[in-house]
Amino acid sequence: ITIVRQMRENDITFPWVQTTYSTNTEFHESLEENSMYFGGQHNIHPEVERDVTVGHDLSEWFDLYYETHDSDPTFNSANGYAGMVALTQCMEEAGSANDTGALKEAALNLSGEFNTITGEFAIDETGARTSQNYVVTQNLGKEENLYDRFDIVDPKFPTAEATYPMPGWDER
């Protein structure tokens, strides 16, 4: 947020700027119209349906999240939920929550076998993720709801076309 404010104050522009937290509510609330056109990434969006095979589907998860929290879900919220769903699957497969060897073997056996709200669970033998479930976003809206403020400009799940290059500060 501080860097964007300094860019604005010093009239610094680039054709495209991508920042991790441009899809978080605080980014929009702090910067208001200055949050427009920044790129980011996210792993969930109400308009992107994933083939969820374990856990709540995306629509159910959003409903439950809003019933429980007074904020918009972030990619960290989605990762936390998806991680617990994956861990539950591994514990059931391993028959244990404490046997780390059995849990690792279960995780490797389950790799590529199920999808959560963030996409496919897939890892290599070291436990590193091998599936990329994030999509490229751009802040194009001014609505109240966070997910109406940013659009997906990723070719796999587009909800809008990217604005490139980003307009200068005096054109926003």
> What's the pLDDT at 10?
97
Q: Characterize the bridge pairing of strands 115-116 and 39-42.
A: unpaired
Residue 159: band (very low, low, confident or very high) from pLDDT cuts 50, 70, 90: confident
> What's the pLDDT at 62?
94
Tell me whether residue 127 is exposed, middle or buried, using C-beta atoms within 10 angstroms of its C-beta: 0 to 12, 13 to 18, 19 or more.
Answer: exposed
Largest CA distance in the chain: 61
Of 156 and 38, the structure prediction assigns the larger pLDDT to: 38
The 10s digit of each residue's pLDDT in 43-76 is 888 888 789 999 999 999 999 999 999 888 988 9
Average pLDDT on 7-26 reads 93
Could you tell me the two tokens for 56?
């709540």
SS3 60: helix
